[in-house]
Structure 1
Amino acid sequence: MKPLTRALDEAARQLTLTSDTARLDAELLMAEALNIDRDKLLLNPPDKDPPKRFWTMVERRAKGEPVAYITGRRAFWDIDIHVGPGVLVPRPDSEVLIASAIAHFEGKADGPGRILDLGTGPGTLLLAALDLWPKATGIGVDSSRRALSYASANARRLGFDDRAKFKLGDWADGIAEGFDLILCNPPYVAEDEELGPGVAEHEPDEALFAGPDGLDCIRRLAPEIPRLLNPGGLAAVEIGAGQAAAARPLLERDGLKSSIAKDFGGRDRAVLLTRA
């Protein structure tokens, strides 16, 4: 057995107590430690001992720190988003918003022209959308200066800094124009809800929690979306599992028609809004 294989087995064993994805975590950390892609690690692993910093990273993960904070990045759709402490880590569940947008604009030559990402964090949804639609431009809004610093840096690194603008703000306050695509992953965790290991301890509360039922931010957003959504456009708002029945009537208002999109695990994950 190669040294790296033994090290991965041992790391996965150590991480089992604090992670539901122990083997994947170990592979991502090893790839980072070796400065290679995970695919290369799995298909053609180097025949060498693991770097010492691999075990340092495993120790950090064993204490609950998110893998993305340790490696400094997270893959999302077709791009890598750089993240760090104080910034929400992108989740695969949020990719349903991008998938829904692709389905909505299928067959439309240019796709959405103007995109708004409310609660943009490190720019995750906006930058993924700009990567898909090269003619689009957009605005990302967030109340966190730290998150916006990551968003701006991600836009520059991806070559989108001339197409993406970021604004410090309280949701849609001060925004008057219309948009073809509105994306939003608001905080939706109820105050007493339990989260996975390390999430509440490391990720920012303001990006996670939204009142007793987790719907405070959605109530705040609901009146804004009708005035911002252009005819023929789509607004996709992420929700927590089990929130569809409560969130849908809050968002379906002022002439908007709603539907529910499921994530890749089959759970209700987003309310999709169009003009009836």
Structure 2
Amino acid sequence: MTTLRHALTQATARIADVSDSPRLDAELLAAHALGCTREAMLLARLDDPVPATFAALVERRLTQEPVAYITGSRAFWTIDLLVGPGVLVPRADSETLIEAAVDHFAGRAPQRILDLGTGPGTLLLAALDEWPQATGLGVDASEVALDYALRNGAALGMAQRVAWRQGDWTAGIDGRFDLILANPPYIGTDEPLPREVVGHEPAAALFAGRDGLDDYRRIVPELRRLLAPDGIAAIEIGYEQGDAVMALVRAAGLPARLVRDLGDRPRCVITG
């Protein structure tokens, strides 16, 4: 009998042709096939028989379909999110925005949070989990993304604390927010991307004009009217866009500083 331990070794070797994290991918797929967490599988189930569905999951990964789409979920910050085709896969780099907000609000909590381009609710729901007394508004142009966000909010028990709106960035939004989060598209239309990304994730969540700055030009001028006193905006950027986005923020009459991610790459502009 082939054990799961052996099957994981074989799958890792195959997935290495399409992934930078083949062992992790194989383990996540195997845990999904078992219906348990990866941690539980590694602790107690490596000598189990191979789940019947594991081989098919590996074949899907070999087409460079994102693991999160295959398993239907992705861990982010302190929460797990439902994800699938039509939404941007949450990435660990985006946790930099939440970390920067936690540092800013040390000893106190934001009361109202706005998430522009919320996708499946990634940043907003992570922030609401961090600050249980806060409420939030998530905005996205995609009906598909908002359906995922709605389901994620309900699954996390936050339905009464969050509102979702289909919209065009800040259009029609009034009031002031203590924390504004934004992860807009920032890839230039001519920039190459891995097949896993460009072949599966929605183009509208990736590309923003030739220089990747089109959506920043729309969002940044609105921040001043939407920020509450002592509030901040945390805006995700591509690692080469720090100077350009900070210039836009300063041109809007706001201070700007750069925050780096765990890989020491520029990842977030903070203003307010």
TM-score range, shorter chain: over 0.9
Contact preservation (8 Å) 1:218, 1:251: no
Alpha-carbon distance between aligned partners in 2 of 1:20 and 1:112, rounded to the nearest angstrom? 37
Contact preservation (8 Å) 1:29, 1:57: yes
One-letter amino acid of the counterpart of residue 195, structure 1: L
Written as runs of structure 1 = structure 2, the 5 A alignment for 1:64-143 is: 64-108=64-108, 111-143=109-141
Q: 2:269 aligns with which of 265, 268, 271?
A: 271
One-letter amino acid of the counterpart of residue 168, structure 1: Q
Structure 2 gaps of 5+ residues are: none
Q: Percent sequence identity over matched residues?
A: 55
Contact preservation (8 Å) 1:122, 1:147: yes
Contact preservation (8 Å) 1:226, 1:253: no
Let me know the Cα RMSD of the aligned residues. 1.2
Deviation string, structure 1 residues 181-239 (Cα, Å, up to 9, x no partner): 00000000111112223110000000000111111111111111111011111100000
Counterparts in 2 of 1:247 and 1:254: CA distance versus 1, 3 Å: closer
1:270 is paired with a residue of what secondary structure? Answer: strand
2:225 is paired with a residue of what secondary structure? Answer: helix
1:48 CA drift (Å): 1.9
1:36 CA drift (Å): 1.1
Deviation string, structure 1 residues 143-169 (Cα, Å, up to 9, x no partner): 000000000000001000000000000
The alignment covers a number of residue pairs equal to: 272
1:46 CA drift (Å): 4.5
Partner of 1:186: 184
Structure 1 gaps of 5+ residues are: none
Q: TM-score, normalised by structure 2?
A: 0.98
Deviation string, structure 1 residues 59-113 (Cα, Å, up to 9, x no partner): 00110100000000000000001011011100000000000000000022xx000
- Is 92-101 or 186-195 further displaced after alignment? 186-195
Partner of 2:239: 241
1:242 CA drift (Å): 0.9
Q: 1:209 aligns with which of 204, 207, 210?
A: 207
Partner of 1:9: 9
Alpha-carbon distance between aligned partners in 2 of 1:181 and 1:46, rounded to the nearest angstrom? 44
Q: TM-score, normalised by structure 1?
A: 0.96
One-letter amino acid of the counterpart of residue 179, structure 2: L
1:2 CA drift (Å): 7.2
- Is 70-79 or 193-202 further displaced after alignment? 193-202
